[in-house]
Homo-oligomer: A and B are copies of this chain.
Amino acid sequence: MRIGELAKATGTKAETIRYYEREGILPTADRTDSNYRDYSDNHLAALTFVRRARQLGFSMAQVRELLALSNHEDNPCQDIDRLVQLQLTEVERKIADLMALRDELGQMLRSCQADKIGECQIIGSLGRQSVM
């Protein structure tokens, strides 16, 4: 398949696929006589893996690790578990941070009863250090 088909099949822009190839995240593709990239089902599987990992919030560096690990079938699962657990912890931290933000923003919205910016509590609270 050509890059456009692969792009459509995985919901990835062609430019991103080329970028992954440059970065060594995806193996290089064969070329047709006219120098078009020619992808196999293995490439489809690899790109699906990469995109899924990225959607799950893994960094490119982590994706590299996951790829390397997945090529060592005899290695213990622990190695993968560690990465997933790390990512889970990170996601939980982000959720906590965002929930604190949400609360602050909600409070700001409820706080202002003024109708001119001159007396706006929101503007006021932006100029003060956070207490949270």
Say if the beta carbon of A38 comes within 8 Å of chain B. no
Say if the beta carbon of A1 comes within 8 Å of chain B. no
- Find chain B residues with CB under 8 A from A91 CB: 98, 101-102, 105
Are B48's CB and A120's CB within 8 A?
A: no
Count residues of chain A with CB under 8 A from any CB of chain B. Answer: 52
- Complex CA–CA separation, A49 to B52 (angstroms): 38
Are B80's CB and A120's CB within 8 A?
A: yes
- Complex CA–CA separation, A91 to B112 (angstroms): 20
Interface residues of A in 67-90 (CB under 8 A from B): 69-70, 72-81, 84-85, 87-88
Copies of chain A in the complex: 2
- A contact patch SS: helix
Interface residues of A in 82-127 (CB under 8 A from B): 84-85, 87-88, 91-92, 94-95, 98-99, 101-102, 104-106, 108-109, 112, 114-118, 120, 122-123, 126-127
- Find chain B residues with CB under 8 A from A112 CB: 77, 80-81
- Complex CA–CA separation, A114 to B80 (angstroms): 11
